[in-house]
Structure 1
C-alpha cells in the first residue's frame, strides 16, 4: 500500500479579542475549514487533516478559545465571538478574502452557521453535523435543544469511566475502547475551556436566522450519526424543509462523533458534499 503523505502542514496562532487562537492547516487547493464541538478540539480531527488534505484539498483546523492550544483569558465566550475568532484564523492562514468550504460539529456547527450568514459571499458549501438542532419560533431560527444542565451530557465529565464517553456511540465504545480512550485523552487538552453549561447557554441565547441560512446560495449538508443521542432525525428533516439547498445524510452505525468513529465514511460524505459545488 502506498504511503499517505500530507504536504504543506503548518500551524500557528491568530490574535483575536486578546486571545491566541491556535490553527493548523495541511494540503493545497480548495479549503475545507472545520469547527470542533464542545467536547473536542483540533486533535479530534486528526483523521480529517490526514484523510482529506492532499494536493487538491486544503484542510484547516482550529481551537475555539479555551480549547486545545487556544487561550481563554478574557472571559468572553459565545457563538458570535467564535465566529469572530474564525475570521481571525482565516486571516492568519492567508484566506482573508477567500471563499471556503465550512463544516462544524455540534456546537462548532452553530459557530460555522453564524459565520456563514455573516459572510455569505465567501461560503462555497456549509456542513452542519450532529448538533441538537431544530427549527424554533415558527421556523424563524436554528435552535439548540440541549439545555445547559442536561444530565446525559454532564455525565461525560462526571462519570470518569475509562473507555466510555457519550461523545461517541455505545457500539463504538464497546468495539474499540482503545480509540475511545484516545478520544477521552483529546478531550482533556485545554484546561481553560468553558463548562458545558456555559457553552450550551450561549448556544440557546444566540440562535441563527433560518431565513439567512436559506438565502445562502451554497449547498448545505445536515449530517448526523445514525445513533446520535442529541441529533434528532425528524428535526433534521424539518429543518431541511426550510432550507432549499439542504440535504440530510445519516452515517450508519455511528454515534455523536461520526468523523472520529467512521472517518472514511465521514470524509467521503464531505468530499461528495464539496463536489456538489458548481454541479
Structure 2
C-alpha cells in the first residue's frame, strides 16, 4: 500500500501526516489523546484496498508531530485539522475520529458544515449532547483525578483502562509513554473544552457511531446510545472491545466503516 509521509508546519509544529493518495473518496482519521496515527493502521490498509484515499496524522505533540510547538488547546487542535484539510485540498472528505479525534471531527463539522460529506465517531462522547448532573461532576473530576496519579504509573493505568486486549494495551503503553504528563493533562483539558452542550443541534451530514462494548471511559457508554437515538441512527457496538476499539477489534471496525461508506455515502 502506497502511504506517503509528509509534514505541514502550523503554529510552530511540523504536523506529520500519511496519505495513501488516489482518486477515491477521502477519509481522514484523527486519533485520541495520548495516541498516534498508528492506531488506524488496519483501517488505512483496509480502506485503501477498497479504493478509498486515506489520510492519517499525528496531532500536535503526539507521535512524530513532536515537538508540539504552541501549547495544545481545543481551538488549536481543531485549527490544525482544518489547516491539514485545506492544505490537501480534499473534496468533501469523510472525517473519522476516535475519542479526542472524534470530538475534533465533530467540532469541525459543526463549525464548517459544508466541508465534510460524512462523520465517523468511535468511542467519543457527543460534543453537543445534554449532560446530567452526575455527568457534569464526572467531567469536572476527571482532570484533578489524573493530576494526582504519579507520572511513572500513568501510562500503564491509562493503557489498562483503554484497551481490552493485550495488543491494544501494548500499543497504548508505548504511545502514552511518549507524552509527558504535563502535556497529556493539557490534551485532556482540551478534550473537555470541546464538550459544549446544545441539545437542539443535529449533525448535518451522515453519521456513523462505533463503540467498544467494554468502553467505560467517561460517559461514552451512556452518551453514545442517547446520541444515536437523538440522531435516528444505529449505533454499532463492537463485542469484547474497549475504548481503543480500532486496536481491540480491527476487523469488526473495518467492516462497520466500510458498510457505512458504501450504504450511506455511495449508494
* TM-score (norm. length: structure 2): 0.83
Counterpart for residue 183 of structure 2: 195
- Name structure 2 gaps, 5 residues minimum: 133-137
Picking from 37, 46, 53, the partner of 2:41 is 46
1:137, CA displacement in angstroms? 5.7
Counterpart for residue 141 of structure 1: none
SS at match of 2:211: strand
Structure 1 residues 150, 222: CA separation in 2 closer, same or farther (over 3 Å shift)?
A: farther
Q: Quick check: 1:224 aligned with 2:224?
A: no
Rounded Cα–Cα distance in structure 1 between residues aligned with 2:7 and 2:221 = 37
Rounded Cα–Cα distance in structure 1 between residues aligned with 2:242 and 2:148 = 14
Picking from 241, 245, 254, the partner of 2:229 is 241
* 1:164-207: CA deviation from partner (whole Å, max 9, x where unpaired): 632211xx23xx5xx63244223434x56853432232222332
Residues 75-90 of structure 1 mapped to structure 2, 5 A cutoff: 75=71, 77-90=72-85
Q: Quick check: 1:272 aligned with 2:267?
A: no
Counterpart for residue 73 of structure 1: 69
Aligned length: 257
Counterpart for residue 144 of structure 2: 149
Counterpart for residue 120 of structure 2: 127
Picking from 26, 29, 32, the partner of 1:34 is 29
Indicate conservation of the 8 Å contact 2:34/2:62, yes or no: no
Rounded Cα–Cα distance in structure 2 between residues aligned with 1:180 and 1:99 = 34
Runs of 4+ residues deviating >6 angstroms: none
Instruction: Decide which moves more: 149-158 or 47-56.
Output: 149-158
* TM-score (norm. length: structure 1): 0.79
SS at match of 1:112: helix
RMSD between superposed Cα atoms in Å: 3.1
- Name structure 1 gaps, 5 residues minimum: 1-5, 139-143
Counterpart for residue 103 of structure 1: 96
Structure 1 residues 52, 85: CA separation in 2 closer, same or farther (over 3 Å shift)?
A: same
Which protein is richer in helix relative to its size?
2
Picking from 187, 195, 216, the partner of 1:207 is 195
1:74, CA displacement in angstroms? 1.7
SS at match of 1:60: strand
Counterpart for residue 242 of structure 2: 255
1:211, CA displacement in angstroms? 6.0
1:80, CA displacement in angstroms? 2.2
Which protein is richer in strand relative to its size?
1
1:125, CA displacement in angstroms? 1.0
Rounded Cα–Cα distance in structure 2 between residues aligned with 1:209 and 1:87 = 22
Rounded Cα–Cα distance in structure 1 between residues aligned with 2:119 and 2:149 = 29
Indicate conservation of the 8 Å contact 1:80/1:114, yes or no: no
Structure 1 residues 161, 66: CA separation in 2 closer, same or farther (over 3 Å shift)?
A: closer
